[in-house]
A and B are shown apart, each in its own frame.
Chain A
Amino acid sequence: MELSEVFYTKFSGAYNEFKLEANGQAPFINKWREEGYQRLLLDGIPHKQLEDWKYSDLNKVLDPAFIQLLKKPTYTFRLEDIFRCDVPDLDTQSFTTLDGWYSDTENPLQVLPDGVIIGSFREAALKYPEIVEKYLGQATKTAEDGLSGMNAAFATDGMFIYIPENCVVEVPLQIIDIISAETDLLVNRRNLFVGGKNSVANVVVCDHSLTFQKSFTNSFTEVFTENGAVFNMTMIQNSSNNTSRNSSVFVSQKGRSTATINTISLHGGFIRNNIHVALEGEFAESNLHGLYLGDRNQHVDNFTIVNHKVPDCLSNQKYKGILDDQARGVFTGRVVVSRDAQRTNAFQANNNILLKDTAHVDSKPQLEIYADDVRCSHGATVGQLDTEALFYLRSRGINEKEARMMLMFSFAAEVVDKITVPALKLRITDMVEKRLRGELSRCNHCAINCC
């Protein structure tokens, strides 16, 4: 369905303005933007009549009146004054984007001592066009739609990470994405992460909001793992109820590489996470883990596609959710095993706890198997807290609230335990506990009011 009139008016004007600004960029970027824009015009914003968008109505959260910051704004506050991440012992190297723009103007792109290139996506396209051109759009091209088109057309900036061959990055790289503008905002952010051959890296992406303005963030991330690379990414979503987001992650994996994506949705008004994994090389391994905690009218929709294109790959998916009040959860997980992908192992599980009758979850595991020698399993459960376990705990003197808390926490722990960086696991454990206790999950010493 082509772009609606009201959005056409908005986007055509903005695109013409943005094109002028974008002229300074590499020609391949401009071409990519133009193709994206045409795709946006052709496909429009995904709507509820599309099977993949049945449960999440973008038209309810994406307001044509939202403003795009197509030129980098000047901020009056100093980031370091308000934001201090205290992931204990995590000793991360952290990098920040504000409203879709890389925040460090003086030093937009760094080469770390170990050879890692990290910083502004926009800058990387200028400084390292050979890398960016090689990868950009290669993973997303399998599932282009109006949203990916919008992202290509309007992506202001985002993060670029390049891990060279054989490089083992000791410290986790932390990316902090903040919504801070004092207007209702539409943000398009583009990330490109490349793990070179036999490299190892841990990336943490934290989404926060500084304001209570409404916003819609349309974030696209492409992850490429070359042969033998190990790439772990943990995304923590912790924003105000006025924020909405579409977060699309496309992972393309070469042989014997391992990519693990942990999605921890702690807070936010409307969250749609899409993860597309293409296993392109033999003996590649994909791990997708998700935890979503929703209450009030929060909406969290996890949508995954894992495509086994070649033999001997392994994929694991574990998504768990706890939903309270009128919160809505969705899990759609599609595993596709191509005809040639013999000896595939693919596992998928989605478990949900509904704390109230008014909470709701839709769980749709889907398997499409065209090969004959495969091991696949999938399962979905929706339930309440185990009343027998609850009674057992209470019969030992533990009060009801605490007993419920222990059960919820143990349910969530199965996902949190998948996080391999010990300090990060501790930090997330703490945040999950605070979240379940109804306390504000924010870090000490940090002025950011996440929720």
Chain B
Amino acid sequence: MLKIKDLRVSINNKEILKGISLNVNKGEVHAIMGPNGSGKSTLASVLAGRDIYEITAGTVEYNGKDLLDQAPDVRAKEGIFLGFQYPVEIPGVNMMTFMRTAVNEIRTHRGLEPLSAKAFLALSEERKTLVEIGSRFDGRSVNEGFSGGEKKRNEIYQMAMLEPTLAILDETDSGLDIDALKVVANGVNKLRKPENATIVITHYQRLLDFIIPDFVHVLYNGKIVKSGGKELALELEIRGYDWIKKEQGEN
């Protein structure tokens, strides 16, 4: 589904990603871990199409098409979803109007009829239960005044509404207490399907107790320096990142 080959990315002439290669197939859950500043969020943003980065080398293929060529909204329509580490507050844009516009743009792209207001509301109510948000977002502006936990739940609610093929969750666990973490993880798990894939970006192993990954990759200094199964995450939890840093230093 996703083929990243030797991807190099800079910002302000500073190289952040220094040759990343990664294959993600449908049905798989990949965890990308690594210390702060290793380039995890840059990778997520580049995949979603944030244009502040300069891609200096490499290719990214998504469902057989060049991904880097596509505008962010086209990527979303093609099934890519980014769960933001820091969801953006947008005062004055009503949450439900925003979601309905997004759902209908994506439906139109997929050759489906736009949802009527009534059908949209029914779908929305159903998907809200996944992250247990009730009517808390109704009548509010996008993320405005939301607590940290509400913002993260909102990301998963949006994911549930947009039904992506490839979900990239950037530090979805940061700032969540354990109960909220369970709710969010539970939401993600319920949305897993054999034809979809998920990339979970996280600093801690904690989230991976609830979202079990098939593969774990360690990103350090702009490169994937280690890949393995879910046991790699446990090892990182026990030994910390110093072990990786040391190993890399020795190389």
* Inter-chain contacts of B48 with A (CB < 8 A): 391, 395
Number of A residues whose C-beta is below 8 Å from B?
Answer: 23
CB distance from A21 to the nearest CB of B (A): 51
From A387, A407, A414, contact of B90 by CB (8 A) = A407
- Stretch from A37-45, A79-87, A397-405 forming part of the interface with B: A397-405
B91 touches A398 (CB 8 A): no
* Inter-chain contacts of B88 with A (CB < 8 A): 386, 388-389, 391-392
B50 touches A402 (CB 8 A): no
B141 touches A395 (CB 8 A): no
CB distance from A318 to the nearest CB of B (A): 13
Chain A: which residue is nearest B51 at the CB level?
A391
B49 touches A407 (CB 8 A): no
* Inter-chain contacts of A413 with B (CB < 8 A): 92
CB distance from A321 to the nearest CB of B (A): 15
From B49, B52, B92, B109, contact of A395 by CB (8 A) = B49
B84 touches A392 (CB 8 A): yes
B162 touches A410 (CB 8 A): no
From B75, B76, B84, B93, contact of A407 by CB (8 A) = B93
- The answer to the question of A168 belonging to the interface, with a C-beta cut-off of 8 Å to chain B, is no
From A389, A397, A402, contact of B77 by CB (8 A) = A397
**Bound-complex Cα distance A137 to B91 (A):** 43
- The answer to the question of B165 belonging to the interface, with a C-beta cut-off of 8 Å to chain A, is no
Given contacts A396-B158, A397-B102, A398-B101, contact A403 B91 (CB under 8 A): no
* Inter-chain contacts of B162 with A (CB < 8 A): 396-397
Chain A: which residue is nearest B79 at the CB level?
A397
A397 touches B109 (CB 8 A): yes
B76 touches A396 (CB 8 A): yes
Chain B: which residue is nearest A391 at the CB level?
B50
Contact with A along B14-58 (1 / 0, CB 8 A): 000000000000000000000000000000000011111000000
* Inter-chain contacts of A387 with B (CB < 8 A): 52
- The answer to the question of A411 belonging to the interface, with a C-beta cut-off of 8 Å to chain B, is yes
* Inter-chain contacts of B141 with A (CB < 8 A): 410
- Residues in B118-157 with C-beta less than 8 Å from chain A: 141-142
- The answer to the question of B82 belonging to the interface, with a C-beta cut-off of 8 Å to chain A, is yes
B92 touches A411 (CB 8 A): yes
A397 touches B92 (CB 8 A): no
CB distance from A425 to the nearest CB of B (A): 14
Chain B: which residue is nearest A399 at the CB level?
B73
From A388, A391, A402, A414, contact of B92 by CB (8 A) = A414
CB distance from B10 to the nearest CB of A (A): 18
From B50, B81, B84, B105, contact of A399 by CB (8 A) = B105
A395 touches B82 (CB 8 A): yes
- The answer to the question of B98 belonging to the interface, with a C-beta cut-off of 8 Å to chain A, is yes
Given contacts A392-B84, A392-B87, A410-B141, contact A398 B92 (CB under 8 A): no
- The answer to the question of B106 belonging to the interface, with a C-beta cut-off of 8 Å to chain A, is yes
Q: In the complex, which of the residues A392, A395, A398 has the most CB atoms of chain B within 10 Å of its own CB atom?
A: A395
A394 touches B92 (CB 8 A): no
CB distance from A263 to the nearest CB of B (A): 19
From A386, A389, A397, A402, contact of B76 by CB (8 A) = A397
* Inter-chain contacts of B101 with A (CB < 8 A): 398, 402, 406
B72 touches A395 (CB 8 A): yes
- The answer to the question of A393 belonging to the interface, with a C-beta cut-off of 8 Å to chain B, is yes
Chain B: which residue is nearest A413 at the CB level?
B92
Chain A: which residue is nearest B72 at the CB level?
A394
- The answer to the question of B71 belonging to the interface, with a C-beta cut-off of 8 Å to chain A, is yes
Given contacts A389-B90, A410-B91, A410-B93, contact A394 B71 (CB under 8 A): yes
Given contacts A398-B101, A400-B71, A402-B101, contact A410 B77 (CB under 8 A): no
A402 touches B105 (CB 8 A): yes
CB distance from A403 to the nearest CB of B (A): 7
- Residues in A42-85 with C-beta less than 8 Å from chain B: none
Chain B: which residue is nearest A414 at the CB level?
B92
Can you list 25 A-B pairs, Cβ within 8 angstroms, ordered by A? A387-B52, A389-B90, A391-B48, A391-B50, A391-B72, A393-B93, A393-B102, A394-B73, A395-B49, A395-B72, A396-B76, A396-B158, A396-B162, A397-B102, A397-B109, A398-B105, A399-B71, A400-B71, A407-B90, A409-B92, A410-B91, A411-B92, A413-B92, A414-B91, A414-B92
Q: What 7 A-B pairs are tightest by C-beta distance, nearest first? A: A410-B92, A397-B76, A396-B102, A394-B72, A392-B88, A397-B106, A394-B73
Q: A386-B90, A391-B49, A397-B73 are in contact. List 12 more A-B contacts (CB 8 A).
A: A389-B90, A392-B88, A392-B142, A393-B98, A395-B49, A395-B75, A396-B102, A397-B76, A398-B73, A400-B73, A410-B92, A410-B93
